[in-house]
Copies of this chain bind each other. A is one copy, B any other.
């Protein structure tokens, strides 16, 4: 099997590394708008060659689209235009707008929309790692609109990545990712901004950075190039969650302002139920 990775960053690179390790592919072509990224990916050895998009498509069985979601929105129609029997996998973090844009494309069936729920706060080819996907969830979105052979091809790759799988429609996917991924990033961004604001006035905060702080704020290292388009495409769902989140913070604020420690205690106790969801 010959594959192309469009966007040789954290996700695309980690797919390439894992499939190479499993000896599941013969040739991996990298496509990236950044020559520096392509060069780096070649150096790191997870692609065998760089090529133009058209050339890469014509010589591949499977094309992984792992660019920021604004680039995906722009590239996907023309990729599908060039596809005959190839399979295209969109691995982006938002689905509704992208799938709407190609809903009536004659080659819609060659596309499998899949979102690997895995990542780190780092980006670029150097961020790619082996084992990123292991044990994580692959969400197949609107799978009924993919050709059966295309889906089976991707599902076999998902198995190579050692992922679990689940199915959702595009709307459901975007709502859920707003809750479990996108809002976490906004929280971290705002927390970082809060602390940086204070540090500017007072200094020394860095000395106290304990592990609790680090884990809640680490997502604030995430790339704005990747995340701004995600929030743009999932704006309505994110705004809904953000409103609810601010409301919950204000409830906590109110309890503390009123010195109502019974309510405060109960809020913490209730939030503890998250144990049920996390491991």
Contacts and interface: CB of A to CB of B under 8 A. Distances in A.
Contacts of A248: 189-191, 193-194, 197
Interface string A94-132: 000000000000000000000001111100000000000
A55 interface: no
B268 A227 contact: yes
A219 interface: yes
The complex is assembled from copies of this chain, and their number is 2
B277 A206 contact: yes
Given A191-B245, A241-B194, A268 B228 contact: yes
Given A205-B176, A221-B278, A253-B242, A212 B197 contact: no
Contact of A249 (B190, B195, B205): B190
Please tell me the size bucket of the interface on A. 35 or more
Interface string A256-269: 11010100111111
Interface in A206-250: 206-224, 227-228, 231-232, 235, 238-239, 241-246, 248-250
Contacts of A209: 117, 180, 277-278
Nearest to A274: B192
A196 interface: yes
Contacts of A40: none
A275 interface: yes
A179 B194 contact: yes
A18 B190 CA distance: 37
Contact of A193 (B192, B199, B267): B267
Contacts of A253: 239, 242-243, 246
A185 B212 contact: yes
Contacts of A120: 211
Contact of A242 (B198, B208, B249, B274): B249
A72 to B, nearest CB: 17
Given A207-B166, A219-B212, A268-B228, A199 B277 contact: yes
B118 A211 contact: yes
Contact of A224 (B176, B232, B265): B265
A120 to B, nearest CB: 8
A270 interface: yes
A197 B244 contact: yes
A138 to B, nearest CB: 11
Sorted from nearest, which 5 A-B pairs have the closest CB atoms?
A224-B268, A192-B274, A192-B271, A117-B210, A190-B248
